Amino acid sequence: MSSTWIIVAFILGFLIVFQIAKASEYVAILRGEERNRKESNRINGFMLLAFLIVGLFGVWYCNHTLKDKILGEPASDHGVRIDTMLYITLAITFVVFVITQVALFYFAYKYQEKEGQKAYFYPHNNKLELIWTVIPAITLTVLVGFGLYYWFEITGEAPANAQTVEVTGSQFKWEFRYPGADGKLGKRYYKEIDPMKNNPLGQVWADPANQDDIVTSQDLHLVVNKPVKLVIYSKDVIHDVGLPHFRMKMDAVPGTPTTMWFTPKFTTKQMKQKYGDEFVYEISCDQMCGKGHFSMRGTVVVESQAEYDEYMAKQKAQYALANEAAPAATPAAVPTAVPANDTTKPKAAMPTTVQGAAASQKTH
Amino acid sequence: MNNESQSHVQEGAVTHDVHHNGNGHDGHHHHKETFITKYIFSQDHKTIAKQFLITGMIWAIIGALFSVLFRLQLGFPDESFPILETFFGKWAKGGRIAPEFYYALITMHGTILVFFVLTAGLSGTFANLLIPLQVGARDMASPFMNMLSYWFFFLASVVMMSSLFVSTGPASGGWTMYPPLSALGQANLGSRIGTDLWITSMALFVVSSLLGGLNYVATILNMRTKGMSMTRMPLTIWGLFFTAILGILSFPVLLSGFILLLFDRNLGTSFYLSDIYTAGQALPNEGGSPILYQHLFWFLGHPEVYIIILPAMGMVSEIMSVNSRKPIFGYMAMVGSLFAICVLAFLVWAHHMFVSGMNPFMGSVFVLLTLLIAIPSAIKVFNWITTIWRGNIRFTPAMLFSIGFVSLFISGGLTGIWLGNSTIDIHVHDTYFVIAHFHIVMGVSAFFGMFAGVYHWFPKMFGRYLNNTLGYIHFWVTLAGAYLIFWPMHYMGLAGVPRRYLDFSIWKSFNQFNSLNQMISVVTIIVFAVNLMFVFNFFYSMFKGRKLRTQNPWNSASLEWTTPIHPGHGNWAGEIPEVHRWPYDYGKDGRDFIPQTEPIGANESKH
C-alpha cells in the first residue's frame, strides 16, 4: 500500500514541477528571454559554488561517519604493505582531487557571463601543457615504483618455512586440506570426487602422501606469525578466496590451481580484544559464482602453534574416514578414469615426485 | 556518389527547406519518401541517430529500473514488496526478490547499460547525427549500411528483450559472463537458454557496431568538405573517430570469445572448461582455461570503457568551448591525448585480472601501462579547466552537464589510480570500491556527456528546445544524487564488502552499512524519477517545445549550425559550405565568434 502512495506522491510532485517549468517558459517570454537567461545564469553560477562548498563538506562528513566502519588494522604482513600503498595513493590523489575540483567549480562560478566581460582568447600554451604532462608522469612513476615493489614482495615465492594449506571452493562452500605430518599434500584428480565415498576433494588414495591429509570445511585454522601458503582450487565455477582482514584475495579457477601466501599477525583472540567479541575473520567469495554467491562464507581461526597442534590432533585423516566407511576402497582398488598422459599418477613406486603436487599436478 | 544522384539529393534538400520554412511540417509527398522510408527504414543519418537515441532511451529506462529493483533489495532486505510479486510472480515470491532474480537483474543492468545504452545509444546517436553535419557531408559513406547498423541493433534488442521472458530467466552470470558459470546450465539457472539468447543478441550487436564503426571511419576519412582538414575537425569528431577505431578492432575479439563460449555450451568443446565437478557429476572436459575467456573478454571489455567515454569527452570539449565563448585549450594536446588513450586502451585489459591467478610479472606490465593512461586523462582535465578559465560562461543545461562530466571524470579517474595499482587492487578487487569507481568514471559521467549532447543538439534534431527549468532540475538532482549514491560506496569497498551480494545478514564484517544502503536506495529512486522526468521533457519538447527561430542558437562556430533549422536528407540546400578555419575561433580579435565558413581576414591575428 505504502508503495502505491509513494508512486502517487511522485506523480503529483512531477505534475507540479512540470507546471512550474512550463509556466517559467511563458514568464521568460513575457519578461524577455535575454533577461531571464541572465538571471538563471547567475543562479546556476551560484549553485556551482554552493555545490563545491557543500560537496567538500560532504566529503569530510562522509569520512567522519564511515571511517570507523571500514576495516581496522591489517592482520597480515602483506596487509600492512597494501595499506601503506593505499595511504600513499590516497595522499596524492586527494590533493589532486581538491585542487582540480576547486578550480573547476570556482572558475565556473567566477567566469560566469557578465555584462562587459570578454572571454580571453587563449588557444594553447605549450609550456603549460608540458608542465601538466611531466608532473603527472613523475607522480605516476613514483606510484608505479612503490606499487610494483610491494606487488613483487606480495606475489613472490612463499618463504621455505611456510605452512601449506589447500583451499577448495565449490558452490557454495569452502573446504580445506592440511598436509598432515608428512608436510605433503597428496595428489588429487577431479574425477575421483565422490562425497558419498567420503572423498569430497577427489584425493587419489594410491598416493601415500594422501594418507595423513586432513580435510575440513568452514573453518580454516592458521598459526599466528607463521607464513601460510594457500593453494587454491575450485571444483565447479570460478570463486575467489577473499580475506578482507588480511587484505588478500585470489581467484579459485577450475583447472588452474592458484596460490597466495601471507603471514597472519594477530590471533583471533587478540582481534576480539581489539574489536569486540563479535569479531571473526571471514572468508568471502569475491567472484560471482551463482545464486548462493552472497552466502559463500567461511571463517579463519588464527591461533598459537600449541592451539593449532591441539586442533590438528583432534582431526581424523580423510583417508581413514573414507576407508572406514568403505573398507573395500583400498589403494589397490583405485582409479579407473585416469588420463593417459598423466605420467606422475602414482604407482606407489614414485611417490617423491608428488612433492609440491598442488602446483605441478595440473601441468600435464 | 555520382552526379545524378547528388543533384537529386540536393533537390530534395531544397524542397524540404522550402517546406519547413513554409508551414513547419514535413513534406511527405515530394520525391519517393513514404512514411516507411522516412521514419522506419530511413537512410538519413539524422533519422537513424534519432532511432538509436530513442531505442537507447527505452533501454536506459529498463536498465535503470532494474537497478531500482535490486536497490530495493539492498536497501530494504527485510521488507517485502507485494507489488513485485504481482509483476514478477515466481521471481519475487512473497514480495521478496529471489537470488536468481537478483543476479539476473544485475547481469541485465550491466549488459543493457554498457552495450545497449552507452555504446549503441551514445555513439550510435551522436556519431550518426554529428559526423556528416560537422565534417560537411550529405550523409554517411554508406547510408544503407548505416541503416543496417540500426536494424541489427534493433534485432539484438529484440533477442535480448525476449531473453527476459524465458521460463529459466535471462542470463545471470554477471555482465562479464565468465565461464564456467555462464557455460554450465546445471550450475546456474540463467546459464540455460537465457545465456544462448544473450550470446546471440551480443553477436548481432557486434555486427551492428561494426557496420556503424566502419561507416563512421570511412565518412570521416573520405567525405570531409573542402577545407576541412583533419586538424580542423571539431573534437567531437575526433572522439567519435577514435571510438569507431576502438570498436572495429576490439569487437571482433569479443565475438570470437563468445563463439567459443557457445561451442563449449552446446557442442561439447573444452575451450574454457576443465576439471569440473558439478551437480554431483564430473564433466568430461579437460584442458580448457577459463582465463582464456577473460583475456578475450577484456580485450574488448577495456577498450569498451573508452568506447563509452571518448564520445562524451569529444562532446564535452565542444560544448565547453561554445558556452565559455573561448577556444578549447590545447586542441592538438586534446587530439593527442585521445590518440594516446586509444592506443593504451588496447594494452591494459589484464588489469581486470590481477587476482585471476595470472602471472604476477604480467600483472606488473599491466600496472605500468594502466597508470600511463592517467597522463593523457590528466592533460584532458587540465585543458578543460583552462578552457573555462577566463571565459564568459553561459550555463545552459548542456554546459552544466559538461561541468558535471569533468567533475565526475576527475573523481572516478583518480580512483582508477588506486585500482590500476595491482597492490591496492588485491584488497579492493571486486568490492564496492570498483562499483563506485566505474559507475562514476564511465557510467554516470558518460551519461552526463550524453545528456550534455542531447541538450545541446536537441534544437538541431527537432528544431525545438528542451525545457530549461526541467533541464536544470534534472542536472542538479542527478549530479548530487550521483555523488550521494557512489561516493560512500568507496568506504564500503575499503571495508572489503564484495560486489554482487544481495544480503549481508550472515556476515560479521559487512553488515554495518544497512542505514547507508537504505539512503543509497532512496536516492536511487529519486534520481530515477527525475530522469524519467527528463524522458518526459524529451518527448514533450519534441512536439511542444519552444521553437527554434535562428539557425545558430548557441552562436557556435561549427558547421552543423549552418544547415537549415529543419535540414532535409542531404543537410545543406545547395552547395556544401567550404571551411576556412578550425571550429574554435571564439573571442578572437574582439569578435564573439567566427564561423568555420568565414575566410581568414587580411588583418586577422594568428595563433
| Domain limits, chain B | 3-590
Closest-CA residue of B relative to A364 is B287
A344 within some domain: no
List the end-to-end C-alpha distance of chain A, in Å, as a whole number. 62
Find where cell 598436509 sits.
A179
CA angle B47, B53, B57 (to 5 degrees): 145
Tens of pLDDT, residue by residue over B61-72, are: 999 999 999 999
Give domain status of residue A252, yes or no: yes
Q: Which of B278, B375, B468 sits opposite A133 (nearest CB)?
A: B375
The pLDDT, as a whole number, for residue B147 is: 95
A197, A259: one domain: yes
- Residues sharing a CB contact under 8 Å with residue B254, sequence separation 6 or more, in sequence order: B202, B206, B296, B297, B299, B300, B301
Predicted confidence at residue B22, as pLDDT, reads 38
Check whether residue A255 and residue A287 sit in a common domain. yes
Chain B residue at shortest CA distance from A22: B467
Contact: A104, B385; criterion CB under 8 Å:
yes
Q: Which pLDDT belongs to residue A333? A: 43
pTM of the model: 0.91
Q: Is residue A275 domain-resident?
A: yes
Residue A21 pLDDT exceeds 90: no
Question: A214 and A250, same structural domain?
Answer: yes
Q: Do B411 and A82 touch (CB under 8 A)?
A: no
- Three-state DSSP at A223 gives strand
- The residue ranking higher by pLDDT, B497 or B10, is B497
Do A151 and B388 count as a contact with CB atoms less than 8 A apart? no
- In terms of Cα–Cα distance, which of A308, A284, A267 is closest to A75? A267
d(CA B585, CA B606): 11
Residue with cell 551560484: A46
| Domain span including residue A101 | 28-113+124-155
CATH number for B3-590: choose from 1.20.210.10, 2.60.40.1180, 2.160.20.10, 3.40.50.720.
1.20.210.10
Which residue of chain A is at minimal alpha-carbon distance from B432?
A286
Confidence grade of residue A1 (pLDDT, cut at 50, 70, 90):
low
Query: How far apart are the C-alpha atoms of A101 and A79, rounded to whole Å?
Result: 31
Same-domain check for residues A181 and A321: yes
Residues B322-351 pLDDT 10s: 999 999 999 999 999 999 999 999 999 999
Residues 190 through 209 of chain A touching chain B, CB cutoff 8 Å: 190-191, 193, 202
Which residues between 254 and 293 in chain A have a beta carbon less than 8 angstroms from any beta carbon of chain B? 254-256, 258, 278-280, 282, 284-293
- B590: burial class by Cβ within 10 Å (0-12, 13-18, 19+)? exposed
Q: Report the number of distinct structural domains present in chain A.
A: 2
CA B253-B257-B261 angle, to 5 degrees, is: 165
Residues of A in contact with B327 (CB under 8 A): 121-123
Nearest to A243 by CA among A17, A89, A74, A360: A74
Residue A91 lies in a domain: yes
Mean pLDDT of A125-133: 92
Any B CB within 8 A of A61 CB? no
Q: What's the rounded Cα separation, in Å, for the pair B434 and B412? A: 10
Q: Which residues on A lie below 8 Å from B369 (Cβ)?
A: none
The answer to whether residue A49 sits within a structural domain is yes
- Nearest CA to B235 among B328, B117, B324, B166? B328
**Pair A51, A175 in one domain:** no
Q: Which whole-number Å values give the CA distances from B495 to A70, A246, A273, A345, B432, in the listed order?
A: 4, 12, 19, 44, 9
Q: Residue A261's beta-bridge partner residues?
A: A229
Write the DSSP symbol of residue B449.
H
pLDDT in tens, B73-98: 999 999 888 889 999 999 999 889 99
* Helix A77-110 / helix A33-66 crossing angle, nearest 10 deg: 160
Tell me: pLDDT of A201 over 60.
Answer: yes
When pLDDT is averaged across residues A187-202 and rounded to a whole number, the result is 93
H or E segment at A176?
strand A173-178
DSSP notation for A195-220: GGGTBTT-B-TTSGGGTT-EEEESEE
Q: Are A170 and B277 inside 8 Å of each other by CB?
A: yes
- pLDDT value at residue B19: 40
Same domain, A42 and A191: no
Q: For residue A147, is pLDDT > 80?
A: yes
What gap in Å lies between CA B577 and CA B598, rounded to an integer?
10
Contact A14 B529 (CB under 8 A): yes
CA distance B562 to chain A (A): 23
What's the CA gap between B75 and B69, in Å, rounded?
A: 10
Q: How far apart are CA B282 and CA B186, in angstroms?
A: 12
Tell me the ipTM for this assembly: 0.91
Q: What one-character DSSP code corresponds to residue A256?
A: B
Q: Are the beta carbons of B524 and B67 closer than 8 angstroms?
A: yes
Residue B286 has phi, psi (to 5 degrees) of -140, 150
**Taking the alpha carbons of B273, B276, B279, B281 in that order, is the dihedral positive or negative?**
positive
**The domain spanning residue A292 has which CATH number?**
2.60.40.420
Is residue A329 within 8 A of residue A322, CB to CB? The reply is yes
**Quick one: A128 and A176 in the same domain?**
no
Chain B contact for A336, CB < 8 A?
no
Joined together, the cell numbers standing for residue B496 give: 572489503
All three cell numbers of A72, joined, read 581496522
pLDDT at position A10, please?
Answer: 85
B10 pLDDT above the threshold of 70 = no
Q: What is the mean pLDDT of residues B503-513?
A: 92
Q: Are residues A134 and A223 in the same domain?
A: no
The neighbouring-strand residues paired with A248 are: A243
Q: Is A176 on the interface with B (CB under 8 A)?
A: no
Amino acid at A288: M
Q: Is the Cβ pair A82, B479 closer than 8 Å? A: no
Q: What per-residue confidence (pLDDT) applies to B11?
A: 41
- Dihedral angle, C-alpha B513, B516, B517, B521, nearest 10 °: 180
| Number of A–B residue contacts, CB under 8 Å | 381
- Output DSSP code: residue A295: G
Residue of B nearest to A284 (CA): B498
CA distance B489 to B432: 6
- Please tell me the least confidently modeled range out of A151-160, A289-298, B23-32: B23-32
CB contact at 8 A, B73 and B94: no
**CA-derived radius of gyration, chain B:** 25
B502 neighbourhood in chain A, CB within 8 Å: 294
Say what the pLDDT of residue A353 is: 36
Closest approach of B175 to chain A, Cα-based (Å): 10
Of B174, B374, B427, the CB nearest to A249: B427
Q: Is there a single domain that holds both residue A235 and residue A146?
A: no
Run of H or E residues at A259: strand A258-262
* Better pLDDT: A190 or A337: A190
Strand-strand pairing, A228-234 and A163-170: parallel
Cell of A138: 613523475
Given this model, what pLDDT does residue B31 score?
Answer: 59
Choose among A10, A17, A190: nearest Cβ to B277: A190
pLDDT higher than 60, residue A339: no
3-state secondary structure of B53: helix
Q: Is B469 exposed, middle or buried (0-12, 13-18, 19+ CB in 10 A)?
A: buried
Query: Which helix H or strand E contains A299, and what residues bound it?
Result: strand A297-303
Q: Please tell me which of the candidates A69, A92, A97 has its beta carbon nearest to residue B411.
A: A97
- Distance CA(B233)–CA(B245), nearest Å, equals 17
User: Are A97 and A242 found together in one domain?
Assistant: no
Contact A253 B588 (CB under 8 A): no
Nearest to B99 among A248, A255, A292 (CB): A292
Per-residue confidence (pLDDT) for residue A343, from 0 to 100: 41
Picking from B65, B189, B232, B275 by the largest number of A CB atoms within 10 A of its own CB, the best residue to mutate is: B275
A8 inside domain = no
Q: What is the pLDDT of residues B429-460, one digit of tens each?
A: 999 999 999 999 999 999 999 999 999 999 99
Closest of A139, A100, A121 to residue B380, by C-alpha: A100
Residue A53 is which amino acid? I
Backbone φ and ψ for B605, nearest 5 degrees, come out as -75, 155
- Mean pLDDT in chain A? 87
Nearest-angstrom CA–CA distance, B35 and A37: 38
pLDDT single digits (tens) B184-205? 999 999 999 999 999 999 999 9
3-state class (DSSP) for residue A337: coil
CA distance B351 to B370: 7
Q: Any idea of the CA torsion for B472, B474, B475, B477, to the nearest 10 degrees?
A: 110
| Disruptive mutation site among B426, B470, B520, B543 for chain A (greatest number of A CBs within 10 Å) | B426
Do A166 and A325 touch, CB atoms closer than 8 A? no
Nearest to A101 by CA among B479, B295, B411: B411
Q: Give pLDDT, residue A326.
A: 54
Residue A208 has pLDDT above 70, yes or no: yes
In the predicted model, is pLDDT for residue A253 greater than 90? yes
Residue A309 counted as domain residue: yes
State the cell numbers at B214: 566502419
Cα–chain center distance at B542 = 22
- Residue A115 has a pLDDT of 87
Tell me: do A186 and A292 sit in the same domain.
yes
Query: pLDDT at position B16, please?
Result: 42
Q: Which whole number is the average pLDDT over B477-497?
A: 96
Q: What is the pLDDT of residue A337?
A: 45
Report whether A287 contacts B355 (CB < 8 A). no
Do A89 and B424 make contact, defined as CB atoms within 8 angstroms?
Answer: yes
Task: Tell me phi and psi for residue A249, to 5 degrees.
Answer: -165, 135
Tell whether A116 is within 8 A of chain B (Cβ).
no
pLDDT at B27: 41
Q: Taking residues B8-25, what's their average pLDDT?
A: 41
Over residues A39-55, mean pLDDT? 95
State whether B277 and A247 contact (CB < 8 Å): no
